[in-house]
Amino acid sequence: MRLATKVVGISRRRCVLLILWGEFFARVRWITLFMEKTMIEGFHGRLMLDLDGTVLADNEVALLQNPHVGGVILFSRNVVSRQQVASLVAQIRAVAPHLLIAVDQEGGRVQRFKEGFTSLPPMQLLGDAYLADPLAGLALSRNTGWLMAAEVIACGVDISFAPVLDVDRETSSIIGNRAFADDPDVVVAVSRAFIEGMNEAGMAATGKHFPGHGGIFADSHLEAPVDYRNWDALWQRDIVPFVALSGLLGGIMPAHITFPDVDPKSVGFSPFWLQRILREKLGFQGVIFSDDLAMKGADVAGGYERKAQLALEAGCDMILVCNDRSGALTVLQYMAEQAVSQSDKIGAMLKGSAVTWSDLEADPRRIATTEQLKPLMTLK
C-alpha cells in the first residue's frame, strides 16, 4: 500500500513536471510567435525617417535597426533608376526586413520615381476626365491607381502616400492640381476608383490631408497656415471625402493647419481632430501618419521632442521626420527615454503583392493604361 502510494505520488509529481514543462515550452513558443509577429505582421516602431543617398550608408544600418524606427520614406535624391530603387530597397530589407517603406508617388509634380516608371498626370486631370465622361473617367482613375501601385510594389516599396483627398483647384498654393477636383462629390467618386485600383495591386491607400488643405493659400511646408472657416463649412465640403472613404483607407495623414474656430490646436497635434472626429465620429480604424514634423507648419508645437510628444498623444500611430537627421535622432532619443510603445496597426500597410517588373512589362492592363494616359500628359 505504501509502495502504491509512493508510486502514485511520483506519478503525480511527474505529471506536474510535465505540465510545467509543457507550459514553459508553450510560453517560449508564444514569445517566439509574438516576436515573429512583432517583426512581420505589424508591431512597429513609430518613427518614419529618410535616407541620405542612393545606397544604404554604413551609419544608416544601425539607425534602421533601432526598435523605434518603423519605416523609411524615399525621396527623389534616393532615386537614379528603377533598378537602383529595387537595389536600395533590397539593402533596406536585408538589415531591417520589417520596415514599412514609403514614397510620395501621387503623379504630376509629386512623383519621386521617374526614370523607368510611367509618367502619371496630376490628379486634377483625372477629375476632368471624369467630368467629360463619367464611366470612362472612373475606369481611367481605377487603372491609374492600379498602375501607380503596381509599379511601386514591383520595386519592393510598400506604399505611396496617396491619394490627395483635398478639395481644391486653384485656392491652395501647395495643393492645386494635386487634388482631383474642387467639388467634394467628384473627389469622392474619382478617388474611390483610384483607391480601388491601388487595392487591386496590393497597396493600402493613405488619404491626405485631413480634414482638408484645399481651402487656404498658405503652404504648410513653409509656414503655419490658419484656416478661419467654421465646422459647418468644413463638414459640408472638405471633410466629405474623408467621411465617404474612411472605410477604404488604410491610412490617413492630417494637415499641419489650425482651424481656430473649431479647435485651437493644429490638426496633427489635436486629440479633438484625431480622436473625437477621425476615430470616433468617422470611425476610422487605420493608421494615422503625421505629416513631416520638419515642416514649418509643425513648428507651432515647439521643438522636436515636444512635436513628437504631442503628435503621439494626439493619436498619431507613426510620425515622420524628413530631411533633418538631427531632428530624427532627437525624436529617437525621446522615444527611448519615454519607452514609447510600438504600434500594432502599421503592419496592415505592408504590401500585399509580390508583382515583379517582368510581370508588369507584359501585362495588358499596364500597356493599355499607359497608352490611355499619354493624351493627358500633354495637358499637365
Report the catalytic residues.
Answer: 221, 291
* Sign of the alpha-carbon dihedral angle for 168, 171, 176, 177: positive
Distance CA 301, CA 276 (A): 20
Which of 41, 71, 47, 99 lies closest to 347, judged by CA?
Answer: 41
324: helix, coil or strand?
coil
Dist CA 329 CA 335 (whole Å):
10
Helices (H), the chain: 2-40, 58-64, 82-95, 123-132, 134-154, 184-201, 231-236, 240-245, 271, 304-314, 325-337, 357-361, 364-377
The Cα 168–Cα 175 span in angstroms is: 7
Q: Residue length, the chain?
A: 380
What gap in Å lies between CA 216 and CA 257, rounded to an integer? 9
DSSP state of 269: G
Coil, strand or helix: which one is 266? Answer: coil
- Short-list 141, 149, 230, CA closest to 191: 141
